[in-house]
Chain A
Amino acid sequence: MGSDSQSRTPSGAVISLSSVVVVFLLLAAGSYGALIKAPTEATMGLIQRIFYFHVSSAWTGFIAFFLVFIGSIAYLRTRSLKWDWLSVASAEVGVAFFTVVLVTGPIWAKPVWGIWWTWDARLTSSFLLWVLFVSYLLLRTLVDEPERRAVVAAVFGIFATMDIPLVYFSIWWFRTQHPQPVMGKGGSLDPTMWWVLILCWCATLGVMTLLIRVRYRLEGLRAEVDALRLEASRNAR
């Protein structure tokens, strides 16, 4: 029946082997750059090499959350569930990347600063951001009807992403007003370090794209199963 055309499209379009190979090569090159090619940082030593994946995961996470924003607005405007699939896929992937950030951060901090965690502006805001999108995903599990879930999640997703810059500004101002230990920031990056960082970012972006596509497809397949069940129940009558 025509009604199902909307939910029937995700078949086909499996992730192509070539894109997987490209992302794999990027990752390999990034790892090579981060672990071997880049010069060892003078004061922090080898542990600083985690920086390349820490920072690039954070940047990629931001992009994923921005996709939630796009998907949410587009869903409310078009009412096409595909945009909702994009939102949920991006939110999950974004949360995954920010989990990487929150895990690699303390691993980096412990040897360098001597503590696992400090309420530094960046750490705090990343943590808050992670919580924000975990509650987004939680909210989704608490609404059963797909259309309702999409609407409710879209509105919350929009509010959550609009909150990101506010969270960052407020925490940054808050922390700069309060004296705190200087955390080995500042100083300029060596040009090689920059290149490696950009390379790693490209690699994580590639991983993000792949993950979002897989997750999007999964959501599409779920919808297709639902549509088929619906049709089966209709024919059974």
Chain B
Amino acid sequence: MPGSAVAQNNCCAIWSRAELPRVSTPFASSPNAGLRISFSDIEKRFGMRMALRGVSLEIAAGECVALVGHNGSGKTTLLKIAAQLSRPSRGEITFYSGMTALEADVVKRRIGMVAHHTLVYDELTAEENLVFFAKLFGLPDPVARARQSLEPVGLARRSADLVRTFSRGMRQRLAIARALLASPELLLLDEPAAGLDPEGQLWLGTTLAQLHSSGCTILMSTHGRNETQASVTRAIRLEGGIVTHDSGPCGDPYGVMALAAVREAVEGDGR
């Protein structure tokens, strides 16, 4: 299965590389293949509200999965559970590298996440933020690593400025740089294109394509049509905490995404 997922990278052939802005490629260096995730019957309750009602999914290494659905359909909750930020009320999640199941604390090292919030400190500079997180991830030479990561996101010139002074789009770029800092094998993205201008979206699309082709597993929630969907190999639609459509690893993800987009447009967002 992992092989087939990588092969499907061609589905974004419509995106001509020549049109993309100049992009350096420091991230495309996952040492191993991506992680494989197995969600089994995940349920999550918040008091009276049921965010997930029994989600079972197998996501193979190297897949690029788009989660689509209304606001409140459970996309964010599923991503948080995958990131081990939130413990499921019921069910289990297991991570595999190759055929071996990984321990919880080993997994954290291999996951990068872009969440709804930026997850960076406004009171620190861009570089200080990345140095701090590089230290927490135990990366060798955190300062060099931080500088190196600011280059491709286009923040090298502003690295010594406080994040507070950044625009929405720049914060989002920094959030993405933070997620990619430790060369993750599983990338979790919650609406990564939010706040990015068209150029930024294009940049993100290219970055994701590179990560995808390097074998990183990507699980992201997306909303509306944007450039990040170019590398998507599989789309899963969540509705009220249940998987209602799954294109599967070999199906047509764009069909599912289009259907979801139509439904959202017709029914209005957020019910």
Q: Which residues of A contact B (CB under 8 A)?
A: 3, 144-147, 226, 229-230, 233-234, 237
Contact = CB atoms under 8 A, between A and B. Distances in A.
Interface of B: 43, 45-48, 50, 53, 89-90, 240
B50 A234 contact: yes
B53 A146 contact: no
A80 to B, nearest CB: 12
Contacts of A233: 50
12 contacts: A3-B89, A3-B90, A144-B47, A145-B46, A147-B45, A147-B47, A147-B89, A226-B47, A229-B48, A230-B48, A234-B50, A237-B240
Given A229-B48, A230-B45, 15 more contacts: A3-B43, A3-B89, A3-B90, A144-B47, A145-B46, A147-B45, A147-B89, A226-B47, A226-B48, A230-B48, A230-B50, A233-B50, A234-B50, A234-B53, A237-B240
A130 B50 CA distance: 37
Nearest to B240: A237
Contacts of A234: 50, 53
Contacts of A226: 47-48
Chain A contact surface mostly: helix
A26 B48 CA distance: 42
Contacts of B45: 147, 230
A101 to B, nearest CB: 35
Given A3-B90, A237-B240, A145 B53 contact: no
In the complex, the 9 A-B pairs of residues with the closest C-beta atoms, listed nearest first: A145-B47, A3-B90, A145-B46, A146-B47, A226-B48, A237-B240, A144-B47, A230-B50, A3-B43
Nearest to A143: B47
Nearest to A145: B47
B40 to A, nearest CB: 14
A119 B46 CA distance: 45
Contacts of B240: 237
Contacts of B47: 144-147, 226
A67 B53 CA distance: 35
A226 B45 CA distance: 11
Contacts of A3: 43, 89-90
B35 to A, nearest CB: 26
A144 B90 CA distance: 20
Contacts of B43: 3
Contacts of A145: 46-47
Contacts of A229: 48
A3 B241 CA distance: 16
Contacts of B48: 226, 229-230
Contacts of A146: 47
A193 B20 CA distance: 92
Nearest to B53: A234
A9 B50 CA distance: 21
A147 B47 CA distance: 7
B245 to A, nearest CB: 16
A198 B43 CA distance: 50
